Chain A
Amino acid sequence: MRQRSQRRSFPTHVLVFLAPAVLLYSMFMVYPLINSLRLSLFEIGAQNQMSFNGLQNYVKLFSDSNFAPFFWRALKNNFVFFAVHMLVQNPIGLLLAALLAEGGKIRNFFRTIIFMPTVLSVVIIGFIWQLILNPLWGVAESMLKAVHLGYLFGPWLGKPESALVTVSLISVWQFVGIPMILFYAALIGIPDELTEAARVDGATGWDIFWRVKFPLILPTVGIVGILTFVGNFNAFDLIYTMKGANAGPDFSTDIMGTLFYRTFFGQQLQLGNPAMGATVAAMMFLIILTGVLLYMFLWARRVQTYEM
């Protein structure tokens, strides 16, 4: 029974319960975010004097030769980064989850191991892989030679053609645990009766997975997709750790997060620019918002959620 008598007024205790969260969240999250979006419409001088200049910062970001090449490259690289996660991380996560969902002691042990890199800091992961791939140490090369693939080895992180994909794959290696665990949770939630019926009818494991289980976990597929999107378009730590703020070699690993950092704080000879930084952040905001809205209206509404 809800307290109807209190419907009209706004009782003190409700205020007491809500106020700390609403105030803290509004002050340190919502207000700075809105202020940041607002600043993208201003020019900020060296003495912090501000003048409104409409969408000029955006025009500059899209077409000025000091900003535009960097912006479009970072945007393109970010989509490559996202594509690698969608094509490699999430399918591997699904495969591992499907294999783990059969249950048993040894599989629970594997589950613990495979999730392990996910809990470590990106900084640690970045340095570990830098060491492993370092030709000086030669660990990666020896491993490849052991399986007669030594000729494939190269300074992958140092070459502009391969650095972005290498960094993306390292991120995949670290975070595969997240789709794995979400798919796993969804798969073990499917009641046995549903798969038993198909098994009795003579369906193979492969058929059961794609025709019975997969349609049932479609809502999770959507959640994994949108989490990957938001996470990837907000990524920064790994590239900053492995390749520095300049996202080398030759900006080939530059994504929106590193571009934002560099634009805001400046780097080497280039001065920091808060207004342009806010503009880059506003673009990241718009990209993420678009992704979230597409997910909400095109995916979440159409995909049937089954009560199991």
Chain B
Amino acid sequence: MKSPPFYRPQQIVEKSVPIIILSIYSLIALFPIVMVLMNSFKAKKAIFGAPFQFPSPETFSLIGYETVAQRATFSAYFLNSGIVTFTALILTLLIGAMAAFALAEYDFRGNAIVALYLSIGIMIPIRLGTVGILRLMVSLKLVNTLTGLILIYTAQALPLTIFILSQFMRQVPKDLKDAARIDGASEYHIFWMVLPLVRPALGAIGIFTMIPIWNDLWFPLILAPSSKTATVTLGVQQFLGQFVSDWNAVLSSLTLAMIPILILYILFSRQMIRSITAGAIK
């Protein structure tokens, strides 16, 4: 193979070494995931006999998925996770945007103190209050309810949401709001007018609020461990604990739990990464 004449050898090395390093690391990142996906579609013998091969017509099998369909109530888990994540997300965005608007827009007495109070929660993880949270939930009769989880996740996501949104809301031009005020719009109208203008920020916060809620094990385990309220993460954790020796079932349930997030990620990865980098550049 001949190298292009206009590159000196040193330049070729400089250009290709980063690509080689990145390729190797990408393989490391992808390999365990691919192994699970691939082997979940194979018969047990092939899982152990030829783990590195793609499923072929001889080795293809859906036995793991059949076990999961019979034994686990994954659809109920997905529904629970969906309800909790979606409701907490909407509440966080709406309540967070309202507070962010108040802090960004009005120069009321105590503004800085309220902002500081709300931002403590950015750095202090809510888990540290678990003993208090469980007692509170017991007294409110919210143990083993999805409502309890939704309230905790909303409280957990609010500080960062308010902090980021208020920065974006400060950038909305004053003229626009003042013009609306002169036309007699109420402050509530102005809030609904500003909200669509920070849509990109809402989208980014939405994605980054959703992922940790969907993936959380701690609070479902402590506040809502009943089989009726189990989320996907908890359901998978418990299911895998019981079926640890049934490799087909383990691989299939892992695949089922991964697929929705992987699809969402592949669809939105561009926006996700752009939102972080845009925030950093500003």
Contacts and interface: CB of A to CB of B under 8 A. Distances in A.
Interface of A: 1-4, 6-8, 10-11, 13-14, 16-18, 20-22, 24-25, 27-36, 39, 92, 95-96, 99-100, 102, 106-107, 110-117, 119-124, 127-129, 131-132, 136-139, 142, 173, 181-182, 184-186, 188-189, 205, 220, 226, 230, 234, 236-237, 240-241, 257, 260, 264-265, 274, 277-278, 281-282, 284-285, 288-289, 292
A113 B261 contact: no
B130 interface: yes
A132 B38 CA distance: 13
A22 B131 contact: no
Interface residues of B, number: 94
A100 to B, nearest CB: 7
A18 B99 contact: yes
B250 A32 contact: no
15 contacts: A17-B101, A18-B102, A24-B95, A25-B158, A30-B121, A31-B132, A112-B269, A112-B270, A119-B262, A120-B258, A121-B215, A121-B232, A234-B125, A236-B127, A264-B130
Interface stretch (B1-9, B70-78, B274-282): B274-282
B135 A35 contact: yes
Given A7-B109, A14-B106, A28-B151, 19 more contacts: A6-B107, A7-B108, A10-B109, A14-B102, A17-B101, A25-B155, A25-B159, A110-B25, A112-B270, A113-B26, A114-B25, A116-B30, A121-B214, A121-B261, A185-B281, A237-B218, A260-B130, A274-B131, A274-B135
Contacts of B12: none
Contact of B237 (A20, A114, A241): A241
Taking chain A's interface residues, is the majority helix, strand, or loop, or is none over half, making it mixed? helix
Interface string B140-169: 000000000001101110110010000000
Contacts of B221: 240
A29 B156 CA distance: 7
A1 B174 contact: yes
Contacts of B258: 120, 124
B236 A22 contact: no
A31 B130 contact: no
Given A13-B188, A31-B136, A117 B29 contact: yes
B279 A25 contact: no
B240 A21 contact: no
B120 to A, nearest CB: 8
B149 to A, nearest CB: 11
Interface string B219-239: 001100000000011001100
Taking chain B's interface residues, is the majority helix, strand, or loop, or is none over half, making it mixed? helix
Contacts, number: 266
Max chain A C-beta neighbours (<10 A), residue from B125, B158, B233, B266: B125
B251 to A, nearest CB: 7
A11 B96 CA distance: 19
Contacts of A114: 22, 25-26, 29
A188 B218 CA distance: 36
A172 B251 CA distance: 23
A285 B237 CA distance: 27
B257 A121 contact: yes
Nearest to B215: A121
Interface of B: 14, 18-19, 21-23, 25-26, 28-30, 32-33, 35-36, 47-48, 51-52, 95-96, 98-99, 101-103, 106-110, 114, 117-118, 120-121, 123-133, 135-136, 151-152, 154-156, 158-159, 162, 174, 178, 186-188, 191, 211, 214-218, 221-222, 232-233, 236-237, 240, 247, 250-251, 254, 257-258, 261-262, 265-266, 269-270, 273, 276-277, 279-281
Contacts of A260: 130
Nearest to B102: A17
Max chain B C-beta neighbours (<10 A), residue from A31, A113, A281, A282: A113
Given A36-B131, A121-B217, A139 B109 contact: no
B279 to A, nearest CB: 7
Which 3 A-B pairs give the minimum distances between C-beta atoms?
Answer: A32-B132, A185-B280, A33-B129
B265 A17 contact: no
A142 B51 contact: yes
A18 B128 contact: no
Contacts of B247: 131, 137
A181 B233 CA distance: 25
Contact of A116 (B14, B47, B262): B262
Given A35-B135, A137-B48, A281 B129 contact: yes
Contacts of B217: 121-123, 236-237, 240-241
A124 to B, nearest CB: 6
Given A21-B99, A285-B128, A10 B108 contact: yes
A7 to B, nearest CB: 6
